[in-house]
Structure 1
Amino acid sequence: MTALKVLILGVICVQLSCGREFSTLNHIRSKTPSDVQSTAAADLIKRVIGVRASDFLVSVDPSIGPKNRDTFKLVSSGAKLSITGTSGVAAAMGFYYYLKYYCGGQFTWAGQQVALPTVLPVIASPGKVVTSNDQFRYYQNVCTVSYSFAWWDWARWEREIDWMAMQGINLPLAFTGQEAIFQRVYMAMGFTDKDLESHFGGAAFLAWARMGNIHGWGGPLPQTWMDAQLILQHQIVTRMRSLGITPVLPGFAGHVPAAITRVFPQANVTRLGGWSNFHQNYSETYLLDFSDPLFSKIGGSFIKAMEYEFGVDHIYNADTFNEMTPRSNDPAYLAAAAKGVYNGLLAGDTQAIWLMQGWLFMEQGFWKPPQIKALLTGVPQGKMIILDLISELYPIYARTESYYGQPFIWCMLHNFGGTMELYGALDKVNVGPSAGRSFPNTTMVGTGLTPEGINQNEVMYEFMNEQAWRPGPVDLLDWIDSYQKQRYNGGNKFTSVAWALLKWSVYNCSDTHREHSTNVPITTRPRLVPELAPDIWYDPEQLYQAWDNMVLASATPALGNNTLFTYDLVDVTRNSLQILSSMYYRDIIAAYITTNTSQLQTAGQKMVDLLSDLDTLLASDVHFLLGTWTEAARQFSLDVNDTILYDLNSRNQVTLWGPTGQIRDYAAKQWSGLINRYYKPRWQLFVDSLVNSTKTGIPFNNVKYDQDTFSTVELPFSNDHTAFPTTTTGSSVDLAAKFHQKYRPETKSKFFSQFPRKSDRTSAFSKQLARQWGRALA
């Protein structure tokens, strides 16, 4: 190949790997001085590795890379490593790159493995240079702030911001504390505290109150909460900016307190429709008409109040119609709606950029091409950014001509409700971002993470974040082997094979399956009909073989003392037991249908025993404790009334999700305490009811069972004030081995033959597994 051809090919590859740039977005970048950013990045490294931070020389120099794309350079300087980044984020990203790929380390939600070699690995001159593909790396779903962040203090936020920076995230949502600002604006306009009590949601439900889905549920929001969150937001925004991160602040989307009809009788308002079975007492929020002069007044006042409090970064999130149907599908109305929201932002900041979640466009009954185009083109091109919220499964940019010219960010949603099923679509994430950048007339400007909840499936987030700088797809088997070595300080032959099996099974979803709690029998209220159908897209035997290998690996003392390994061991064991519940449920139903009381009692006892054992297992790791969540909520209590309120919020969100179970089990968690006190009693009552039915001959009444479950289990738990443990009991290694010995024989049941087997010797799976075994034994 000639030198000219090589040069041309290189130019083409660079063009395909990089997203579009919009001059209208040039001002969305850090204004923090380089020396402040370099100091912040150096401080981050010290928090992560302690005294070894002195082995790193950190500097920020925007000139080393292209404009609007972050670059880092790594090169040895004597015994130390020099890290230069175009920003603090870039420097932190460079540090993490070195930690992972030169030192074999990892820093995640579940913990870290950051032991450095005594002598740092050398990177000879001219060094290693990496440049991001796009301008932005976004983080958070508007729901994440409630499903996962609701009870965070500064210590937890500080660690998360460190994680963000090392992952290269430079555009995260920063929604904390906004109720105090809205309170300030509304009360200056004549609203009262009482008016706002029924408008703001409770502490665990703020995400949906902010989007107008609900109002008031979980409240009233204490003044002490709003004040504390305002202080916390100052810490969050200050730290983000010090690292060169641009926080996305909230904007006014048009949802207003019901008292607006009293304070402004002439205001043009309508009520949105109900949401998720909530009664109008908590739903049907008032929406101010976009053409009403009050819209720009409130919108502008809110932006200016935020700027006075926190400063300005010129980018704001506002979601008016998220899971809410507009009152008209007339394109002219929708264009006016978009213009109204945007003008509200401009009234407070003439350089405003509107960032909006594209989730609403998933509802194709209403949002057809004319409606989508009208909303998007109601704002000047390049003045809004769309989060293509679930690009890995449903890339909306592909059916909207790349959002009709508006810039978008390719996002991996992955998780709903913060549930915990092992799940991922690695193959789709491997190719998706590159496909977005090479789409005809692409307007892609970044990649993003938009999970509804975090603290699960960490492998998916490590991999997705690398798409920010990887030029294209990688060999996934090689990548995942590298991942487990980083995680387990080298791992061993068993962890290597275990992760190959996980990659091929739970992380190999190739259809449009969406991880969800209602696919898991143990965390779904039992019913006779329609039967709870197991939603398993992979061969369970491959998961069980991964479990085999994780248990074998746990016999190695170094791994048994590795917190990331024991976390994964518990997680794989948990999911393996979870699948067995589908078999026991099927046996319960079959025994009831044949009125075989003895078999029904046996199958029912197996289900109850499984739940007891699962609770015992989960109690061995702090990440799987209900008490970690509930006690974090209680820390904000100043008196008994606060405690009662925060108890309700923390317990209700993960169970009933509403006063009577409006979104029951959506945010289900497999946590110790929650299993024994909530899910097991529901199943015990279900089994007892079925047994009583077979004995008396009176048909099982599912409606009565639902009523009894709500009144005797679900509502009492939601209103309970029992404190749950925040410390672990038992050994994760010993318990995983014990339950593996007890339950692994159960997985040989014919029940699992209904799922397609992929492990025959001629399959691609067998070839890859053989390859992994060979690598592990080498």
Structure 2
Amino acid sequence: MEKTVDFEKQAIAGGAALIFDGNRSIKRLCAKVFCPVEIRYAQNAVTDTLISAGTFTPDENGALCAEFATPLTASGLYLFAAGALEDVAVFENEGVNLENLYPKAFDIPLAENMLLDTVSVFTSRAGFSQYSLYTSMNGRDFSLVAVKDDEKPCGENGDTFALGGREARIIRVFFEYHSASPEAAFEKLTFTGAPSGTAPVPCPPIDIPNFADTVYAAPVTEEETLCEVAGIVERRLGAPYASWFRFVLGEKKQYDWFSVAAKDGKVEISGNDGVSLAMGLNHYLKYCCHVHLSQVGDSVRLPEDPILPERPIYRETKARVRYAYNFCTLSYTNAFFGEKEWRDELDFLALNGVNTVLDTTAGEEVWRRFLVALGYTNDAAKAFLPGPAHFAWFFMGNMFGPGGPLHDSWFVERTELARKNGRIMQRLSMRRVLQGYSGMVPTDIQKYDPTAEVIPQGTWCGLQRPSMLKTDSACFARYAALFYRIQREVLGDAVYYATDPFHEGGITGGMSPRIIAKTVLSEMQKARKDAVWIIQSWQANPTSELLLGLGEVQGGREHALILDLYAEKSPNFSDGRADNPHHGYAPEFDGTPWVYCMLNNFGGRLGLHGHLDNMARAIPQVLNACAHFAGIGMTCEASENNPVLYDFLFESVWQEDAHAPAVPVDLNDWAHAYAARRYGGESAAVNRAWDILLDTVYKAQCNMQGQGAPECIADARPAFGLKTASAWGNAAIGYPAAALCDALRLFETDKETLSASAGYRYDLVSLRQQVLSNGALSLYAQLSAAFAERDAAAFDRAADAFLSLIDKMEATTGENRYYRLSRYLDMCDARAAGGDDFAKRAYRMDAKALITTLGTFVMSEEGCGHDYANRQWAGLFSGFYKKRWMRFLENCRRELSGETPTKTDPFFYEWNWVRGVAM
């Protein structure tokens, strides 16, 4: 079924733009025109990143009908034609229930405890279905009893499974795939058996005490702060080195500060708080001991006796905010972090002076309680939450479900983890940033509260978005107050709150951004008088009208903090980006405190890439000239990559005298010193290699195409004519590929001397992999040319070479644990260990989907999300990417030999891998 889509038609250079009132699932466009028409489309209101849908030619009568095999999830279509476009009509799909997408769990309660002989599952007979089957006695813990992996359609009598008298009170069908629809096509279930006669087993409650009733609510003492910093020494250097140091908490000054000096045979590090002490420790280790500590490989070589600084060191910073994370980081990198991983991460943040940290851990417990307070059952509340790898987009208001429900143990364990992490941050004087409330509610909220005034939000990446309360409605204040009260019960208090109302294409329903801003901030301040609202400067956000609304709240814009999310490449702070019609505000966001942020990474896609020279030039400028500059931040969509960028960014704002003008560093000299400490020794050859890296992969003008690092073409879904592996990425190398080969040769010159350093070993794998990735482009070009010329022999040679190169990538990345799929999946499995069979299967599927298809069918195909988070990881090269290419290349060989190629559904094979079935 189709229906027409309303749009606003706007004239643009070379054609017309059709703007919708939100994202739509576009199936077809018709028009009268007498020339070819190129159609591009935008998603989530992004008009500066258009995706090509192809060029379409009308018939001899001027009738154009552009059919899209996979519906386009679009907020607007952009039509480019040499002639006039008339009678334009756009049609969207109608009929798919976006709240019934697979993977989805269906629980069937039985009237009493039963001894089950057989269970028959009935699904749609159009196409075939795949699913797993579970039983439970208490409704919390489910045991796997059967899996349907075959490609047979459901018969008249369903698919029957023998259970041999298994006792159960609840049966769960986890619907995982349907070949004919993105929906979970489950219809009914029947069973045979007899009552067991045993008593019902109650579902255990989720027993989580309120924050105020735990040890985490106690005030932090100075002794705890000093012990926390000393603990970093023991964990990162070793317990014997704790005796080298004396840490002293000093007075508060105008700026954050630290000092390092020799005193009584020890290294005395002073600072105004725990983070400043940790930053002082790191500065001492870098510049007195040539030690390097990072997320991805350390280099620690220390003698037994303390290395005393030759003269006192003092540093301070104007950057009162040193910020960490994008919401996406917490899914693409941190989704399955446990206590050990978070402990290492918080050490890393502290050592780099980070004092403001976005933390959504256990936000799902806040939402579970919030919905229960609104009248939802525990099961209904859990059904609203997505799988654990997709929380970022839930917290940003982009999606809800599928992938759940979470096991009850998840809420208990993550709340405890969040409280432990929060206590560590509190000891260090790090400020947690919690989720702010801007109106998100389930789409069925009016069943529970008929007074709720809601605005449907359409779709995001093909998925149904949650609804939003009308910010100016009477119930908004009540919901906001409830949310903040429950958040305080779960996580304690906070000053900073992050939320972006109507994020990435949300529909405001005609409400004024000025009123939205004023209301959201006012409700925050009711919850906490000194609350600060953190707002991402991304796409259309913030508008000048939204900024105006901030100024109408008590305390004004000092209660807001704008993250200029991609400042190292596309800054918004300088002049409001006059070339960008979304904005139009005065410099520095109309005088709102703001943070210079480095985004750099998208989706966790790997590759050597950065804008170091831009940062080296811009950060001193903003320190010297920007009155509303509040600090710096890392807002990468994923971290654990390009460690040099984080080292430079967080060091760049510390000066001997913050009142004096900041002076740019010589990047080559800085990089040589960085290499010496990261690799545990100096090397002239390595220095020359770094000179090349600064002039290629880390030079801004070589890295301005697309989003993030050039992608590895071997990670792409196989086809000819590929320009990228993901919809918004790029695979173009903006520098001579031979230069990086030279850098690798130089880098390997002193390998025997430097390979004791974990930092060197990580960087060596990174550089080798980048060279291999660059080489894949030329082999792909040979493949394409041979196929176009119908030269079967040349094609076979190029195909074999291409597959051999993927094998080399597998071997290369397998040398370092940070480049292994197994590390990621092991973390996922560890988080599921406290759950049941269902949690172990569902969490792993969610984790694997994120890095391949991005999610379910509509995210992958209609939302163009497949391979957005592609990774250059051992295990993915051999188990996923190579198998895709082998199937594609075999089909090409068939065609070249005159045979009919086998029709394939790429998503089906990719989803098989997600489900743990052979591709």
Tell me which interval the TM-score lies in, with the shorter structure as reference length.
Answer: 0.7 to 0.9
1:315 alignment partner in structure 2: 496
Q: Which residue of 2 aligns with 1:56?
A: 245
Contact 1:74 1:128 in 2 (8 A): yes
CA contact (8 A) 1:35 1:59 kept: no
The answer to whether structure 1 residue 101 and structure 2 residue 264 are counterparts is no
Deviations 1:681-723 (A, max 9, x none): 111122122222222176x7xxx86x43222x3111011179x
Alignment of 1:303-702 (within 5 A): 303-328=484-509, 333-361=512-540, 370-374=544-548, 376-377=550-551, 379=553, 380-398=556-574, 399=576, 400=585, 401-439=587-625, 442-470=627-655, 471-510=662-701, 512-516=704-708, 519-529=711-721, 534-554=731-751, 556=752, 558-637=753-832, 638-660=835-857, 661=860, 662=863, 663-696=865-898
Instruction: Tell me the distance in 2 between the aligned counterparts of 1:581 and 1:256.
Output: 46
Question: In 2, Cα distance between the equivalents of 1:618 and 1:175?
Answer: 31
Q: Distance in 1 between matches of 2:716 and 2:545?
A: 36
The CA distance in 2 between the partners of 1:463 and 1:196, in whole Å, is 43
DSSP-derived class of the 1:347 partner = helix
Write the distance in 1 (CA, Å) between the matches of 2:721 and 2:341: 43
Query: What are structure 1's unaligned runs of at least 5 residues?
Result: 1-29, 723-778
SS at match of 1:668: coil
What amino acid is the match of 2:683? Answer: N
Taking structure 1 as reference, are residues 136 and 640 closer, same or farther at Cα in structure 2, changes over 3 Å only? Answer: same
Query: What CA deviation, in whole Å up to 9, does each residue of 1:571-630 have, x standing for no partner?
Result: 111111011111111111101111001111111111111111211222222111111111
The equivalent of 1:197 in structure 2 is 382
AA of the residue aligned to 2:332: Y
Given candidates 413, 422, 428, the residue that maps to 1:243 is 428
1:539 and 1:378, CA in 2 relative to 1: closer, same or farther beyond 3 A? Answer: farther
Alpha-carbon distance, 1:154 to partner? 0.6
Q: Which amino acid aligns with 2:397?
A: G
Structure 1 window deviating more from structure 2 (262-271 vs 353-362): it is: 353-362
Q: Residue in 2 aligned with 1:225?
A: 410
- Alignment partner of 1:47 is 2:242: no
SS of structure 2 residue aligned to 1:396: coil
| SS of corresponding position for 2:398 | coil
AA in 1 matched with 2:882: K
Output the amino acid matched with 2:793: S
CA-atom RMSD in angstroms: 2.1
Could you give the per-residue CA deviations for residues 228-274 of structure 1, whole angstroms, max 9, x where no partner exists? Answer: 11010011000011111111122212111123110011210011131
Q: Which runs of structure 2 are paired with 1:7-18 in the superposition (5 Å)?
A: none
How far residue 118 of structure 1 moved from its aligned partner, in angstroms, is 4.1
TM-score (norm 2): 0.70
Q: Which amino acid aligns with 2:910?
A: E
User: How far is 1:302 from its partner?
Assistant: 2.1
Is the Cα–Cα contact under 8 Å of residues 604 and 687 in structure 1 kept in the other structure? yes
Q: What's the CA shift string for 1:96-153, capped at 9, x where partnerless?
A: 000001100111111211222444443356x111001221100011111000001111
| 1:518 to 1:694, Cα distance in 2 relative to 1, 3 A | farther
- How big is the shift at 1:343? 2.7
Residue deviations 1:268-298 (CA, integer Å, cap 9, x gap): 00111311233xxxx2321111122332222
The question of whether the paired residues in 1 share the 8 Å contact of 2:258 and 2:279 is answered with yes
Residue identity matched to 2:230:
A
Contact 2:439 2:471 in 1 (8 A): yes
Q: State the distance in 2 between where 1:190 and 1:174 align.
A: 27
Residue 171 (str. 1) matches residue 368 (str. 2): no
CA apart distance, 1:561: 2.6
Partner of 2:206: none
Match of 2:907?
A: 710
- In the alignment, the residues of structure 2 paired with residue 518 and residue 714 of structure 1 have an alpha-carbon distance, to the nearest angstrom, of 23
Q: SS at the partner of 1:486?
A: helix
CA change 1:416–1:375 in 2 (3 A) is farther
- 8 Å CA contact retained: 1:195, 1:257: no
| Residues 422 and 531 of structure 1, relative CA distance in 2, 3 Å threshold | closer
The aligned amino acid for 2:684 is K
Give the partner amino acid of 1:340: T
Distance 1:460 1:580, change over 3 A: same
Contact 1:389 1:412 in 2 (8 A): yes
C-alpha displacement at 1:355, in angstroms?
1.0
* CA displacement 1:476-533 (0-9 Å, x = unmatched): 0000000110111114222222222212211112263355477331111122235557
Identity of counterpart residues, as a percentage? 26
Equivalent residue number for residue 726 of structure 1 = none
Deviation readout 1:453-489 (Å, 9 max, x if unpaired) = 0111001111111123143310000000001101111
Which structure features the higher share of helix residues?
1
Counterpart Cα distance in 2 of 1:581 and 1:376? 50
**What amino acid maps onto 2:478 in structure 1?**
K
Q: CA deviation at 1:220?
A: 1.9
Secondary structure of the corresponding residue to residue 287 of structure 1: strand
The answer as to whether partners of 1:103 and 1:117 remain within 8 angstroms in 2 is no
Write out per-residue CA displacement over residues 645-701 of structure 1, whole angstroms, 9 at most, x where no aligned residue.
011111100000121224111111111111111101111122122222222176x7x
Question: Secondary structure, in 3 states, of the residue corresponding to 2:733?
Answer: coil
**Offset at 1:534?**
3.9
Would you say 1:296 and 2:482 are equivalent positions?
A: no
Quote the Cα distance in structure 2 between the aligned partners of 1:514 and 1:82.
Answer: 47
Paired with 1:715 and 1:473, the residues of 2 have a C-alpha distance of 49
Q: Is the 8 A contact 1:385 1:407 kept in 2?
A: yes
**Map 1:256-271 → 2, pairs under 5 A:** 256-271=441-456
Match of 1:13 in 2: none
Would the aligned equivalents of 1:211 and 1:319 in 2 still touch at CA under 8 Å?
A: yes
Letter in 1 for 2:647: E
Q: Is the 8 A contact 1:110 1:455 kept in 2?
A: yes
Q: What's the CA shift string for 1:188-217, capped at 9, x where partnerless?
A: 221122432332111000000111111102
CA distance in 2, matches of 1:375, 1:143: 27
Residue 624 of structure 1 aligns to which amino acid in structure 2?
Y
Aligned residues: 669
CA contact (8 A) 2:608 2:770 kept: yes
Task: List gaps (5 residues or longer) in structure 2.
Answer: 1-217, 577-584, 656-661, 725-729
SS at match of 2:323: strand
Residues 1:249 and 1:284: Cα distance change in structure 2 (over 3 Å): closer
Contact 2:516 2:546 (8 Å CA) reproduced: no
C-alpha distance 153-628 of structure 1, shift in aligned 2 (>3 A): same
Question: In 2 relative to 1, CA 243–531 (structure 1 residues): closer, same or farther, beyond 3 Å?
Answer: closer
Residue type at the aligned position of 2:719: R
Q: Which amino acid in the other structure matches residue 62 of structure 1?
A: E
TM-score (norm: length of structure 1): 0.83
* 1:133 to 1:545, Cα distance in 2 relative to 1, 3 A: same
